[in-house]
Amino acid sequence: MARVALVTGGSRGIGAAISKTLQDAGYSVAASYAGNDEAAAAFTAETGIKTYKWNVADYDASKAGIEQVEADMGPVDVVVANAGITRDAPFHKMTPQQWHDVIDTNLTGVFNTVHPVWNGMRERGFGRIVVISSINGQKGQFAQVNYAATKAGDLGIVKSLAQEGAAKGITANAICPGYIATDMVMAVPEKVRDAIIGQIPTGRLGEPEEIARCVAFLVSDDAAFINGSTITANGGQFFV
């Protein structure tokens, strides 16, 4: 039986590449999305990967959505917590709403995604959790106090889950992508984006598939001894 993988935010951007790569690797993939019905329908039409709509910031909605995935496809063995948003603003202009929106989606959203599958993974003695963090959780970023806080928080989550899950066959790891060619990065003003690309020794944005291949490795049996770690994939922009 193919393992079941859930990718949140799995119908667009990095998430879509992860969903497709895991499908190619033989997983049964479910992709959740928050709001873009059109993109989700197009993604399903293109790939055959089933999409599910729920807001990762809402615990009850996440739990119900995951229960539906499990009813349709079987127990979730692999979770890729990828869903994330930006609400960039210099700190002196950042509103409490911008703070809470990002915390609720990017940080609490990881709790809401992993918690409903955790006991099942423990009982079955196998699980793979990958959280998509960011270079900006490692180095901070102008106008991203909210986002950087969540992405640094992701690293604390996986390091703690790694310790709790290890004896039960569960690994938890993070990937810190640098600037990847997605809608999120394309929304950065062109001048700022060009300046950022100038800071990347590789001289280009990353491709979503370059992150997806890291995920495919971390969730494989070959990566059973890698737990609580962070893969940094940023074209040499920042070293930890």
Q: Toward ligand CAA, which CB reaches closer, 48 or 189?
A: 189
Q: Does 92 bind ligand CAA (CB under 6 A)?
A: no
- DSSP one-letter code for 215: H
Please identify every residue annotated as catalytic.
147
Q: Toward ligand CAA, which CB reaches closer, 44 or 141?
A: 141
212 contacts 18 by C-beta, under 8 angstroms: yes
Among 93, 201, 222, 239, binds ligand CAA (CB under 6 A): 93
Q: Toward ligand CAA, which CB reaches closer, 73 or 145?
A: 145
Q: Toward ligand CAA, which CB reaches closer, 61 or 197?
A: 197
Q: Please give the Cα distance from 67 to 162 (Å, whole number).
A: 24
Q: Is 203 helix (H, G, I), strand (E, B) or coil?
A: coil
Choose among 156, 160, 161: nearest CA to 118. Answer: 161
Q: Minimum distance between the CB of residue 132 and ligand CAA, rounded to whole angstroms?
A: 9
User: Which of the stretches 22-30, 61-69, 142-150, 207-215 binds ligand CAA when contact is defined by CB under 6 A?
Assistant: 142-150
Report the Cα–Cα distance between both ends of the chain, in Å, rounded.
Answer: 39
Among 17, 69, 135, 216, binds ligand CAA (CB under 6 A): 135
Q: Does 185 bind ligand CAA (CB under 6 A)?
A: yes
137 contacts 152 by C-beta, under 8 angstroms: yes
User: Which of the stretches 41-49, 134-142, 167-175, 223-231 binds ligand CAA when contact is defined by CB under 6 A?
Assistant: 134-142
Q: Is 81 helix (H, G, I), strand (E, B) or coil?
A: strand
Tokens 């969730």 belong to 219
Q: Minimum distance between the CB of residue 98 and ligand CAA, rounded to whole angstroms?
A: 10
Choose among 34, 156, 25: nearest CA to 13. Answer: 34
Element (H, E) at 173: strand 170-177
Q: Does 85 bind ligand CAA (CB under 6 A)?
A: no
Q: Does 205 bind ligand CAA (CB under 6 A)?
A: no
Q: Please give the Cα distance from 96 to 83 (Å, whole number).
A: 21
Binding site for ligand CAA (CB under 6 A): 86, 88-90, 93, 134-136, 141-144, 147, 179, 184-185, 188-189, 192
